[in-house]
Structure formats: structure tokens, C-alpha cells
Structure 1
Amino acid sequence: MHTHYDNLKISRDAPPEVIRAAYKALSQKHHPDRNHDSPESHRVMTIINTAYEVLMNPAKRAQHDAWILSQEKAKAGATANAGQRARPASAAPGTSADPASRSGSGARRAPPADSRTSRKNADSGSAVNLAGASTASKALFVLVAAGAAIYLIIPTSHQLADGSRQAEGWTPSVSTSAAMTGEPRAAAAAATPTKSPAPQPQYVRKPTAPNGQDWPAWSSYIPGYPIRKTGGLSSLTVDNSRNSSDVFLKVFSLGGGDTIPVRFALIKAGTSFEFFNIEHGSFDVRYMDLDTGKIAKSNRFELEEIAEGNGTRYSRMSLTLYPVRNGNTQAQEIEESEF
């Protein structure tokens, strides 16, 4: 059984500080920027990122710990049961194997002592019900006969005001038009249902990146895109922990009069990603919310490399992404043409 603790080479009771330190050390060792973007480094970084994300989230870590305990219990139970023989099942009461259910050949059970009494009571009850039903039928017949007699007495024609007689079945004509009933014509027209406006199409996340490659399983470079402005000493950490959506992010170089993307990455919701070995210069970050399709960019920033004495001072930049939504002044929304 291999766990996320094993992937980060830490103990199961490691505090967040130890988890963070172990993740940072392994990231610096296996990061694609330091391994010439090899496929193996991408695979290892995906494992490390997944382990870090699970163990730094209290709820996910608790689920992972519970899974570990269940696996250990299952393994212990399998070991304890090994070598045990299955016991023969005992006969269930009332089956043919149960001695208490056996009886002599041809034996018949006597009916209960009060069965004849119960049958007699049932028969007498039926007689009472029949008598009651007969009485009800007679009463119903009398009522029907009386109704028929009353019907014969009522005249079957109607006498009009002029003394003439109208055949049976005549009924006065009644107008149901809106003018006769007083119903406003506008109200009748308003009863016609109106069509609701068609719903606006919503953004749907595409199954692949814009270059046709599959999205990485975790925060990582997207395969197939170039990695430019390498060979420097500076680094950039992008924090997406404040966002509930994955983002497709580009680092843009703004120097020399050209604005070109130099790094392309997927950064999962609630995680961060670090770009290493970036040359000095002016940059900004632009990112698309993959749940809404909205795009935003950061302010311009500088990465510097300055020679000092026997060494070089370089930049270690950290940048926090904010959700792209209406009214959020911390995310500068831009058009797709700028992305």
C-alpha cells in the first residue's frame, strides 16, 4: 500500500510545516524547469503536487487517513482468517433437519377446540348481514317508487307568456361574449401567454487545452507549448488558493516592445505553481477561469538579476490570483483578444 505520505517521504503525523518543507525540497529536485522538461519529471511532479494538495487540505487528509486505516484493517482481517476452516451450517429451526419439525407418518393435526364455535358464529353473522341487506333493499325500492310518482305529476312542458306551450327540453339562449358578460376585451387578450426570452448560452469548459493537448491531471505546464525566457535565476510563484476554479495561465513578457507569452500552465483550484529559471525583465500574468471563461490579468512586475560582490541578487516573485467576477476590483478583466 502506497500513500501520499510515502510520496512526500514523511510520517503520517507530520504537521503542515513539515509537509510544506518536504514538498518544496522535492519540487526543486524534480521540477521540469530543472530537468529539461522531461516526461518523467512531469509524471513525478504530478504525483508530488497531488500528495501535497491532499495532505494540506484537512478534509481530504482525513479521508485519506480513513482510507489507510480501512486498508490496514482489511489486510489484518485477511491474515486472521487465513487457515481457518469453514464451519458446517447448523440446521435452521422448522426445516426438515430440525427434529422438532418431524411428525409420525400419516399423522394429522386436530383442529382447535373452538373452531366449530367460530364457524357457527361466522354463519350466524352472515345471516344477520343478509337480513339487514334485505331490509335496505326494501327501503330503496320505496324511495325509487315515490320519486317516479312525483316525476309523473310535474308537467313536461313550459307555458310561455303568450299562452303557447314550449316542448320539453327548451332552454333560454345565453350569450357568452365578452360584451354581454362585462369581461374587458383587454383582459381576454392578456390571457394569451407570452414567450419567455431564450436563455443565454453559458460557457462550457473544453475537454482539451487550446492546442489540442489533454489538460494535465494536476498543476503543471501544458505539454506542447513552448517554454521561453529560460536560463535566468529568478522564479515566479502563482497562488490560486483563493479561487474555486481551475485556471489556464500564461506568463507574458513585456520587454523589447513585444508582448509574447513565455510560459503556459494549468493551475488547479486551491493550489499554487512555481516557475523557475526565468530571465530578468518585465512581465504580467493573464489567466482564464475555466468555469466561466472570463479572463483577467495582473499588474506589470519586474524580475531582476543584479551582480553583487561574489554573487547575484535575483527576484523571487509571488503572485495571488483572484476570482474573475463582476465587481471584483482585485481582478482586472480583459477581452479574449488580449489573451
Structure 2
Amino acid sequence: MAKIHTHYDNLKVSRHAPQEVIRASYKALSQKYHPDKNPGDEKSARIMAVVNTAYNVLSDPVRRKEHDEWIAAEEWEVEWLESSNAKEGQPRKNADNWEGQPPPKPRRKRQWRNPRWWLGMSGCFVAGAVVAVLTIEQQPNIIPSALAWGGIAQDPVKTGRPDALGVDASSDDWARRIGPDGAKGPPPEVRALAVTQLAVPARAPDCSTDLQTLASPSGDPWPLESSYLPGYPVGNEGTEMQVVVDNSANAAPVFVKLYDLDRRANVRHAFVQQRSNFTFDKLAAGKYEVRYQNVVDGASKSECDGRHTALRQAAADIQ
């Protein structure tokens, strides 16, 4: 199963580590990557920011519990996706997972080879023909009258007026041609393409809540351009829908998940760069929810550090 990159990995501790171990690891990493000991080293500054965020989360019992729940959900999703791919690929069975097959069912004897079956069917056909001839001779108008009754008065011809509120419009009857006698034509071939657009609002980077990591949750580096995340399968393929994520007004990239409300699973994962757009295309029809999180990286990282420096300077002036 693919490994989920977590705050525990950033602090280099186990997921069940006590607070004493977390503080000791944070202290050791701070002594190694602190900007005061590495002046001008941008890589050390980025690593120290990631370490600070991880420690802020893991040192708070409430935020640590939320992070553990997020890890459990991500691992369940990865396991579900891998199991789905295994079922679709139909891996070759070996001796370890061999399952005994049920014995074949005995084949039933074909009835059409039985002469008594043919004799019974012939008798039914002859009796039906005799009854039909006698009925037509005695009451010649019964069949035309029976065919003419169709309940047309109960289903009046629709006019060109708009549909009334509360009327079920889920069927395609509105597009059928209706003849002068009220008969409906064949069902039409109606196609629909649902297009949904999400505009990410402009906001300043927040180092306390935004995602600070040098790699995606799958462990691969973030893509250089807006695209699907490598390591994640592309699910719910179809031609009925597409979802556009507009991040042109945002100064930070975003990590986007497309959540299927019916399957209760994330089916698409993408990374959208700042000031750009991305389209989840070729989607099957369904109910989706777009979930996104800002990623602190590059220019947004410098803005975040600058704002923290201004806050520390203001606090020093007050003291």
C-alpha cells in the first residue's frame, strides 16, 4: 500500500510516540535546521517551517486527534483504490489464495426432445385457433373495439405551455413528437453535459492551517504545472460531466480532491498552480463535492514568513 506522508514523518517519530519523544525530536531537528544556525540556507528554512507546523499539530491533543483521523481516512481510501484496481485487473490466482470451485450442476434434460411435449404444444395451438375463429364469426366487432380502447382521454395531448411546478421532468417525454391523434413518437436521443466551475477565492497564506510540505501525500514531489497527482488513479471515467477549478485569483497553489457523494470516496486528485485553472474532464454523471486546501510553497511561503516576522516585531514593540 502507498505510504501516506504525515506530520509524524516530518518529525521522524512513530505515530504512537508520547509527547516527550515528540518534544525531543523537535528540539533535535531545530538545532539542525534553525535559520540562525543556517543563515541564507533556503532549504533549511523550508524544512524548519515544515517541522514547526508538524510540532504545532502533534503537540496539541485536539489537532493531533484530527490528524490521526485524517491519516486513517487517507489510508482507507488508498487501500480501497488498490483493491479496486486489483479487481479490475483480475490478478492471476496462485496456490495460496486458491478457492475450491463448486461442483458443476447436472444438466437438465431438454424438453423439446420429448415427443409428449410436442404433442401438448400442438394441442394448445389447435385449441387456440378454434377459439379465435369462433369468436370472430360470432362477434366480429369485438377485436376492433378492444384495439381502439387505449385510455387516450386519461392522457391528454400536451400543449406548448411551460411545465407546472411540481411536475416530474426527469423523463424525456418533453422531447417526443406527438401526432394529431395524440400518439407519442419514439423516444428521442437526448444528451446532457453538466459543467460545474469552482472559483477559489483570493486569500493570504496561513501557515497555521495551510498544507506545508515539500511533497504530495503520496510522497511524490508536487507537479510543476497544474495536473493530476501522480500515484493516484483517475476514477469515474465518462463523458457526461466536467468540473473546472479556477485558481486564477489565488496567490497560492491548491491541492484539490473530487469527492463522489454516492460512493463516499475521492475519485480524482489534482494540484492546481497559483493564477491558473484546471479541468476535471471526462467524468461520469454523478453527485460530486470539490474539496481543496491551500499549499504553502514558494512565493506564498515568503509572504507567510514576512507576516510572522511583522507580528513578532509588533509583539516586541508592545513589550
Q: Normalising to structure 1: TM-score of the pair? A: 0.31
Q: Normalising to structure 2: TM-score of the pair? A: 0.33
